[in-house]
């Protein structure tokens, strides 16, 4: 509950800051936001596009959130997405499968590739205590350059050197039934995969021994070790699952929303996943809603940009400011506490925790 309030206040503050920015460049914020909402939600096609934009974010958000629960900071979701997307594209272009088997093989390939890409940082963390932030960043760049040479080398597009061959419609996660339902939107099966992932991850975290152990390692790895848990194994496992999620996110992005993989770009969804996880308070359901919010912001700004002078980077700016406020949630919590204390005229129980180190 409290987390939700903090997140909501952060969102409001971020939107207010976005409005101030629009004023600053001489545009009308109310007009800007109304175009943004129209761009994201005006008709079925746009709603479909918004949900499709949110889909990879659900995956990367889950990926970051899951690792967070084990006390790991997976900043390498971008690289894991690239690995997953490349693996799925490779399967689609290499093997002559069709129908559900084909899609299943692609998703599995993406899942395994993402997991493998995260396995290395996990292993280095568990065995050598190498900080995962640095190692995942290195893995991001290794993925970036691998794609940079593998795609033109083996899966070159017909017209452009800088992207892979376009996948046939049947080789992507798009289905006629969804496309028709949403009036030609690029929404695809990735959304269903995302919902399934949310449910599975929520189940693992809240209802299984594995989830309990992973959280225990996150809270205090030494206490977990004394309690007889295999800390190193859990760290590697957590990174594997986190990477698998990001890998499937890559599949949804490159073979669902798009139908080719471009070189020279680290997908920004990987970094946005950090924002999504933080705003969703690291809970799968929260992650889902945070991703949808970001989907609205991203897909709405295109239309807003077409109708007004406001650059589309407004979405990123608002998101970044929301994250800064979410990161400094102590400030919001203090204000809330003050408000509460005034209201009930009693000392809030959480007071001392928040005031920690404030002498």
Partner 1 sequence: MWSIIEQIFPYAIIFTIPLLITALGGLFSERSGIVNIALEGLMVIGAFSGALSIHYLSGVLDNHTLVLWLGLLAAVLAGVLFSVLHAFASINLNANQIISGTAINLIATALTVFLARNITGSGNIRISSGFSPWDVPFLSDIPVIGDLFFTKTYPTTWLVLIILFASSFILYKTKFGLRLRSCGEFPQAAEAAGINVRRIRYSGVLISGAFAGLGGALIIVTQSGEFTGTVAGLGFLALASLIFGQWKPLGVLAATLFFGFASTIANVSQVIPELAVIPPILLKIFPYVVTLIALVIFSKSSQAPKAVGETFDSGKR
Question: Which residues contribute to the site for partner 1 (CB under 8 A)?
Answer: 21, 25, 73, 75, 120, 124, 128-131, 133-135, 137-139, 141-142, 145-146, 148-150, 271, 274-275, 278, 309, 311, 313-314, 316-317, 319-321, 323-324, 326-331, 356-359
Question: Other CB atoms closer than 10 Å to residue 177's CB: what's the count?
Answer: 9
Judged by DSSP in three states, 168 sits in coil
Measured from the CB atom, the residue of 190 and 270 that comes closer to partner 1 is 270
Question: Other CB atoms closer than 10 Å to residue 300's CB: what's the count?
Answer: 28
CB of 226 to partner 1, least distance (A): 20
CB of 323 to partner 1, least distance (A): 4
Measured from the CB atom, the residue of 35 and 271 that comes closer to partner 1 is 271
Measured from the CB atom, the residue of 184 and 352 that comes closer to partner 1 is 352
Of 267, 253, 275, 270, residue with least CA distance to 322:
275
Instruction: Report helix angle 2-24 to 284-307, nearest 10.
Output: 10
Cβ atoms of 56 and 81 closer than 8 Å: yes
Cβ atoms of 307 and 225 closer than 8 Å: no
- Kind plus residue range of the DSSP H or E element containing 21: helix 2-24
Q: Which residues contact 214 (CB under 8 A, 6 or more apart)?
A: 69, 70, 205, 234, 237, 238
CB of 123 to partner 1, least distance (A): 10
Dihedral sign for Cα atoms in the order 11, 194, 174, 97: positive
Measured from the CB atom, the residue of 75 and 106 that comes closer to partner 1 is 75
Cβ atoms of 32 and 304 closer than 8 Å: yes
CB of 49 to partner 1, least distance (A): 21
Of 1, 86, 63, residue with least CA distance to 291:
63
The DSSP letter of residue 156 is: B
Measured from the CB atom, the residue of 185 and 238 that comes closer to partner 1 is 238
Of 281, 275, 270, 321, residue with least CA distance to 294:
275
Place of tokens 């290794």: 142
Place of tokens 């452009």: 160
Measured from the CB atom, the residue of 175 and 317 that comes closer to partner 1 is 317
CB of 107 to partner 1, least distance (A): 27
Measured from the CB atom, the residue of 157 and 311 that comes closer to partner 1 is 311
Measured from the CB atom, the residue of 145 and 339 that comes closer to partner 1 is 145
């Amino acid at each position: 509950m409290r987390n939700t309030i903090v997140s909501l206040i952060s969102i409001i503050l971020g939107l207010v800051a976005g409005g101030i920015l629009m004023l600053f460049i001489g545009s009308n914020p109310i007009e800007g936001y109304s175009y943004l909402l129209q761009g994201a939600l005006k008709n079925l096609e746009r709603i479909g596009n918004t949900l499709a934009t949110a889909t990879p974010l659900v995956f990367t958000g889950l990926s970051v959130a899951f690792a967070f629960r084990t006390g790991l900071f997976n900043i390498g979701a971008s690289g894991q997405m690239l690995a997953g997307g490349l693996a799925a594209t490779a399967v689609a272009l290499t093997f002559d499968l069709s129908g559900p088997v084909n899609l299943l093989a692609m998703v599995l390939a993406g899942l395994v590739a993402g997991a493998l890409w995260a396995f290395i940082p996990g292993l280095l963390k568990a065995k050598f205590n190498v900080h995962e932030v640095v190692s995942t960043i290195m893995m991001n760049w290794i993925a970036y350059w691998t794609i940079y040479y593998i795609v033109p080398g083996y899966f070159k597009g017909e017209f452009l050197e800088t992207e892979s061959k376009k996948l046939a419609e049947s080789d992507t996660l798009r289905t006629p039934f969804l496309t028709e339902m949403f009036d030609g939107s690029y929404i695809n099966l990735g959304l269903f995969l995302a919902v399934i992932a949310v449910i599975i991850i929520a189940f693992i975290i809240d209802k299984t021994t594995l989830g309990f152990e992973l959280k225990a390692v996150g809270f205090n790895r030494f206490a977990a070790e004394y309690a007889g848990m295999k800390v190193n194994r859990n760290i590697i496992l957590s990174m594997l699952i986190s990477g698998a999620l990001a890998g499937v996110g890559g599949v949804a992005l490159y073979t669902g929303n798009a139908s080719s993989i471009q070189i020279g770009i680290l997908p920004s969804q990987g970094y946005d996943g950090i924002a999504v996880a933080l705003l969703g308070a690291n809970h799968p359901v929260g992650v889902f809603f945070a991703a949808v919010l970001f989907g609205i912001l991203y897909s709405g700004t295109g239309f807003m940009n077409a109708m007004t002078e406001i650059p589309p980077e407004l979405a990123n700016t608002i998101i970044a400011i929301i994250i800064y406020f979410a990161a400094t949630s102590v400030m919001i919590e203090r204000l809330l506490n003050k408000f509460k204390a005034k209201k009930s005229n009693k000392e809030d129980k959480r007071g001392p925790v928040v005031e920690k180190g404030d002498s």
